[in-house]
Structure 1
Amino acid sequence: MKLLMIDDDTGLCELLSEYLTAQGYIVECVHDGEQGLKKAFEHDYALILLDVMLPKLDGFEVLKQLRQKKLTPVIMLTAKGEDFDRIFGLELGADDYIPKPFNHRELLARVKAITRRIEHIASLSNTSSNKLTVNNIIINLAARQAYVDNNELSLTGTEYEVLALLVKNAGEVVSKEQISEEVLGRRLASFDRSIDMHVSNIRKKIAEYNNSERIKTMRGTGYVFIRGE
């Protein structure tokens, strides 16, 4: 699988490129936002590793423009302790984030969680189209598409996974811990708001077509997808 890393730290790019190549990935590196966005538009990557602090275009602007045309999975590389960067990146449609400095094995685990999802999509390409329909939401499991009132939702891969998990368990509370482990492939850390932001994004996209409440927050516990009106 081909990955794109957009980071102006050339030393880090070289180290990670060598490490991820040894794990079987093909890695391309660019060192400014403009070139990174150009590459992302011109080629199909399995995943983009995107630094926040970049010359020419910062990571937020790259992600914002990317999401206008493509839903390529993105892991944001954020400064340690910069909660705003993480939340803002998730609001713009990042699939996950990892704070610098990070352990190489932790990054590999995040990358594998997303690329496994992509491999799973490919394995479903020849299967019959199984669908779930709950409360005017249709989940096409084979095509990995979601609809509300027959309008297709423009969801990132992570947002789709979160919504599909909630719909599969409609009427039951799904904890944030379960969502994090099943969708992001990692345990939920203290004060981690990534699941909250993904759910918030899903709600906004559903509300573009239907304002009825679909996902209810169970304070301190998780979320439940409502079965009926």
Structure 2
Amino acid sequence: MNRVLIIDDDKELCALMKKCIEQENLTALVAYCGAEGLRLVDENKDDRSLTLIILDIMLPDIDGFQVLKKIREGNNLPILMLTAKNSEDDKVSGLRLGADDYLTKPFSINELMARVNSLIRRYTALNPTFFVETECLALKGMTINKADRIVKVNDVPVELTSREFDLLAFLASNKGRIFTKKQIYTQVWENEYAFDDSNIMSFISKLRKKIEPDPDNPFYILTVRGVGYRFNKEA
């Protein structure tokens, strides 16, 4: 699961950002000062699940620009800068030091999350290590080749529609994680405004008939009653 590191001394804002980030099925780490943020960056330098840093300029110990400069000495993670200042000089300084985007306080949570998701998508798409890690999923009795978009169950190819493949690949890539129907729709269809509860159920039903040994007692895609679905972590 992708993780986001928040470095900001505003505890109430951090709590709000953390909550919103986790609603997007991301994990959030929080540091309330620059030194703690740098420590967490160093501790997670080999962890490819850390995919974004949200960094405030006004920190109690180390200036955010100095934190940014230190991070950029050995890390290419996308960095979204936050500041209460609306100075063009601050924005230029941050971008020159290696920030990827800039957001001035106060900001809307919708705008924050749009930028967070955009930066993560760009980073994971351009970073070749992510393709190596997730190109082919080997599961119990099933393989999913994302590059060639081929699914095999017990070494027998299964013919899926494009959307069925995307749905299966998404759930299998997040094995064990529970998703609501709307979260699935947003991630796979990439359009939460066209969300249709019955549409998701129909796709899940059709997919189960193609991949499950016993569609009435599914092994791979499990229903979490009252919540949504998850891919069996034992698969």
Amino acid aligned to 1:34:
A
| Whole-angstrom CA distance in 1 between matches of 2:67 and 2:92 | 16
- Describe how 1:194-205 pairs up with structure 2 within 5 A: none
| Whole-angstrom CA distance in 1 between matches of 2:57 and 2:101 | 13
Amino acid aligned to 1:16:
M
Distance 1:80 1:55, change over 3 A: closer
Distance apart, 1:72 and its partner CA: 1.4
Distance apart, 1:118 and its partner CA: 3.0
- Aligned: 1:51 with 2:56: yes
CA RMSD of aligned residues (A): 1.8
The answer to which of 37-46 and 1-10 deviates more is 37-46
3-state secondary structure, aligned to 2:114: helix
- Aligned: 1:29 with 2:30: yes
Distance apart, 1:80 and its partner CA: 4.3
- Describe how 1:1-229 pairs up with structure 2 within 5 A: 1-43=2-44, 44=47, 45-120=50-125, 121=127, 124-125=131-132
| Whole-angstrom CA distance in 2 between matches of 1:36 and 1:117 | 23
What do the CA deviations read for 1:186-221 (whole angstroms, capped 9, x no partner)?
xxxxxxxxxxxxxxxxxxxxxxxxxxxxxxxxxxxx
Stretches (4+) displaced over 6 A: none
Q: How many residues align?
A: 127
| Whole-angstrom CA distance in 1 between matches of 2:108 and 2:43 | 30
| Whole-angstrom CA distance in 2 between matches of 1:18 and 1:60 | 26
In structure 2, runs of 5+ residues without a counterpart are 134-235
Distance apart, 1:124 and its partner CA: 4.2
| Percentage of identical aligned residues | 41
Structure-1-length-normalised TM-score: 0.52
Structure-2-length-normalised TM-score: 0.51
Distance apart, 1:119 and its partner CA: 3.2
Distance apart, 1:111 and its partner CA: 0.7
Relative contact order: is structure 1 or structure 2 higher (C-alpha 8 Å, sep ≥ 6)? 1
3-state secondary structure, aligned to 2:9: coil
Distance apart, 1:117 and its partner CA: 1.8
Contact 1:51–1:76 (Cα < 8 Å) also in 2: yes
In structure 1, runs of 5+ residues without a counterpart are 127-229
Contact 1:4–1:29 (Cα < 8 Å) also in 2: yes
Distance 1:68 1:123, change over 3 A: closer
| Whole-angstrom CA distance in 2 between matches of 1:101 and 1:57 | 22
Amino acid aligned to 1:79:
A
| Whole-angstrom CA distance in 2 between matches of 1:37 and 1:64 | 11
Amino acid aligned to 1:83:
E
